A = this chain, B = another copy of it.
Amino acid sequence: MQSKSKLQLVSGAPTPLYTQLKDLLRGRILDGTYPPHSRMPSEHELCASFGVSRITVRQALGDLQKEGLIFRIHGKGTFVSRPKAFQNVTSLQGFAEAMSSMGYEIINRVLDFSFVPADARVAARLDIAEGDEVAAIRRVRLLNREPVSLELTWIPSPLARRLEHADLVTRDVFLILENDCETPLGHADLAIDAVLADDELTEALRIEEGAPVLRIERLTHDAAGRPIDFEYLYFRGDAFQYRLRTDRQRNGA
């Protein structure tokens, strides 16, 4: 096994050793030789198996970590990331709508649905008066039975009153708004950043405190341009990606 491994790296080749090692390890991750969540061989073991220096191993592992294929847990070792689910956000779609077209099963755990007075921030975003009634919805979204996001949603009454008895467990708010409430959607503004999991996210998403979380603030407008749905979406960083395509805009020049 060791001698076979050694044969696969060629010292003095135009491709540096660490690149060869990286490509070999990446291949083993992608073909399932090292399955998701399994522990990678230690630096020491990799040095011995491939007859290369520690600096070569570190450079290869560092690059694979940057690609998102492996991750380190301090004091425990290096582990294989699981393949990330992704949602294409080039056009505006609800989560279930986007994901079920790719063969995923989506179920929502509705933690809370209540009518509350809008706080200053929600009121400002939804262009209503502070204290006006809004529905506050708190859902965990499960992708193939595993929690992938926590979503906090505010929708102004009276529109929200029509959502009250809708099936929020299996249906997207977007589709309910369009199909049941006859409110066609227009555009949404998104802000995307990265935060760490707090207590609530830790519990809702079953991740460790301090795990990376992709945070989306999304304000969805109806076809007439009125804001009707304000949300914070928190996605597990280890399980999910947003993808999009953007085009270069030609300037006059």
Interface residues of A (CB under 8 A from B): 14-16, 19, 22-23, 26-27, 62-63, 65-68, 71-72, 84, 86, 89-92, 116-117, 119-121, 130-131, 152, 184-196, 198, 200, 210-215, 217, 223, 232, 234-235, 237, 240-249
Residues of chain B within 8 A of A86, CB atoms compared: 191
Whether A121 lies near B192 (C-beta < 8 A) is no
A105 CB → nearest B CB, Å: 22
A37 CB → nearest B CB, Å: 17
The chain B residue with its CB closest to the CB of A91 is: B249
Q: Name the one of B62, B65, B66, B131 contacting A15, with C-beta atoms under 8 angstroms.
A: B131
The chain B residue with its CB closest to the CB of A72 is: B198
Whether B240 lies near A214 (C-beta < 8 A) is no
Complex Cα gap A15–B71 (Å): 45
Q: Name the one of B92, B198, B237, B246 contacting A65, with C-beta atoms under 8 angstroms.
A: B198
Residues of chain B within 8 A of A66, CB atoms compared: 152, 198, 200, 232, 234
Whether B131 lies near A14 (C-beta < 8 A) is yes
Residues of chain B within 8 A of A240, CB atoms compared: 193
Whether B242 lies near A192 (C-beta < 8 A) is yes
Interface centre among A92, A192, A223, A242 (most CB of B within 10 A): A192
Residues of chain B within 8 A of A191, CB atoms compared: 86, 241-243
Complex Cα gap A187–B62 (Å): 29
